[in-house]
Amino acid sequence: MAGARCDGGPPRSQRGSNRMVNYSLVKEKVIVDRGVGMSTRSIAAWIAGFLAVALAVFSAVYPVSSSAGGFGAAGADRAPGGVAQVVAGGDVQGSGKAVEFSYWTRWADGEPVLSRAHLWLPEGDAPAGGWPVVSYAHGTSGNGDQCVGGTSASEEEPLTSLLRGGYAVTATFYPGIGTPDTPRHLDGVTEAHAVIDAVRASRTLDSRLGSRWAAMGVSQGGHAALNAAAIAAADAPELDFRGAVSFSTPPDLSLFAQARPGVPDIPMMHELTSQVALVLAGIRAARPDLNVDDYLTAEGKRVLGMTNTLCIKGLNEATAGLGIGDLLSRPIPGSPLEAPLQRYVATPTSGYARPLFIAHGYKDILAPLPALAPLLAQMAVNGVRPDFRIYDADHGGVVGAATSDALVFLDRIVR
């Protein structure tokens, strides 16, 4: 769910990573520098030669799409993990190489869809067998294309720690964010596919990545990491999945399907209205047959109309003072929307074949610790025993508080 970030997009270290530079030369003009004159035609020829060499070197390591369609362009290979386009990416501390790429993944129903992701490699040489990979899933940034970037400033700490610990890191943006199509917020199976297929694509981009991998995520990303963990072994048998880390895990999201008119704005938890709006916008795109608009008030339709243009900070501001009930004209419980919505947002409570690490802050207001109890209880009933730890932290702060413990966990299960 909400990650600590601003409406201005990605952190400073990542800004510009998705921009293509356009060199244009105006009318012929002589530029004199220390007595040496060069015409713009000469400069143009020099730049063209330099860029040709640079592109050849870059392409020798990474396949770059020749399409001029940007990140919306379709690569030839639509199989899960097929790479569509690659550009230079923004560094984070500890990375020896960084790229940003678009790749093919799948909606929940298996239909191919484009997503974007980062790939950061550690400094130095890869070990025998290749670098292990952590597929990182970020917290909610918002659905607008300007919200791309993948991680908040607070999330850079675990990324740096992973890289310095010898892990390659790929981080999906989720389908529809910075690519065509409407994002499907908290669609667990779609998130899982994006997390898994980012590993496939990253290994295509660089042969120094090994087959061992783990999932990690915060908030919405924790939901994605757990969904990926439940299907990873069967979905990607060619990879060696080792386990998952979830920070600030959302509680039982099927409670969203209990929403109805009259549910008020909850003090200190008003961001829930934004989350419900994002979920309803996502399932409306995924299942037009459910006629989600029939459940919305005029205010609800207005808010859902903003979800694809605002980042999460702006959406939270736009919904301040609005309760979940203000969005709805009829109850969801007992309606044809209830069961599909429950499946859409579900967090698996069984099916985990590898270890889990779940970290939560007792000061978390957005996803209060007691609300997590039913999820953990059902996991226990099903024989799932995660390494569950509580920290003196709020929703966003638990990432920093728990990173060192999470790395110990990863080293134990991956190495």
Q: Beta-carbon neighbour count of residue 69 at 10 Å?
A: 11
| pLDDT, mean of residues 260-266 | 80
> How many angstroms separate the CA atoms of 295 and 280, rounded?
10
Higher pLDDT, 401 or 265: 401
Given a cut of 80, whether residue 253 has pLDDT beyond it is yes
* Of 18-22, 61-65, 247-251, highest mean pLDDT: 247-251
**In this predicted structure, what is the pLDDT of residue 148?**
75
> How many angstroms separate the CA atoms of 411 and 415, rounded?
5
pLDDT of 298-340, one tens digit each?
Answer: 999 999 999 999 999 999 999 999 999 999 999 999 999 999 9
Q: Are 102 and 173 in contact, with CB atoms under 8 Å apart?
A: no
| pLDDT, mean of residues 108-119 | 97
Angle between helices 271-286 and 338-345 (to 10 degrees): 110
Buried-exposed string 220-254: b where 16+ CB fall within 10 A, e elsewhere: bbbbbbbbbbbbbeebbeebbbbbbbbbbbbbbbb
Contacts by 252-256, CB closer than 8 A, 24 or more apart: 252/347, 252/371, 252/374, 252/375, 253/186, 253/223, 253/279, 253/345, 253/346, 253/347, 254/341, 254/342, 254/345, 254/346, 256/341, 256/345
Of the candidates 109, 55, 102, which has an alpha carbon nearest to the alpha carbon of residue 77? 102
> How many angstroms separate the CA atoms of 360 and 153, rounded?
19
Give the DSSP H or E segment for 88.
Answer: strand 83-88
pLDDT of 173-229, one tens digit each?
Answer: 999 999 989 999 999 999 999 999 999 999 999 999 999 999 999 999 999 999 999
> How many angstroms separate the CA atoms of 165 and 21, rounded?
33
**In this predicted structure, what is the pLDDT of residue 114?**
97
Task: Report residue 54 as tokens.
Answer: 């640079």
Residue 181, amino acid: D
Of the candidates 346, 369, 345, which has an alpha carbon nearest to the alpha carbon of residue 358? 369
Q: Are 407 and 162 in contact, with CB atoms under 8 Å apart?
A: yes
**In this predicted structure, what is the pLDDT of residue 156?**
85
Q: Are 227 and 192 in contact, with CB atoms under 8 Å apart?
A: yes
**In this predicted structure, what is the pLDDT of residue 152?**
61
Q: List 38's β-bridge partners, or say none.
A: 31
Task: Report residue 115 as tokens.
Answer: 């997503």
Question: Which residues are CB-neighbours of 162 under 8 A, at least 6 positions away?
Answer: 94, 134, 136, 169, 216, 407, 410
Task: Report residue 5 as tokens.
Answer: 């970030």
Lowest mean pLDDT among 81-90, 220-229, 336-345, 369-378: 81-90
Task: Report residue 322 as tokens.
Answer: 């609005």
**In this predicted structure, what is the pLDDT of residue 89?**
76
pLDDT of 231-242, one tens digit each?
Answer: 999 999 999 999
Q: Are 223 and 188 in contact, with CB atoms under 8 Å apart?
A: yes
Task: Report residue 256 as tokens.
Answer: 């969203």
Q: Beta-carbon neighbour count of residue 336 at 10 Å?
A: 14
**In this predicted structure, what is the pLDDT of residue 256?**
81
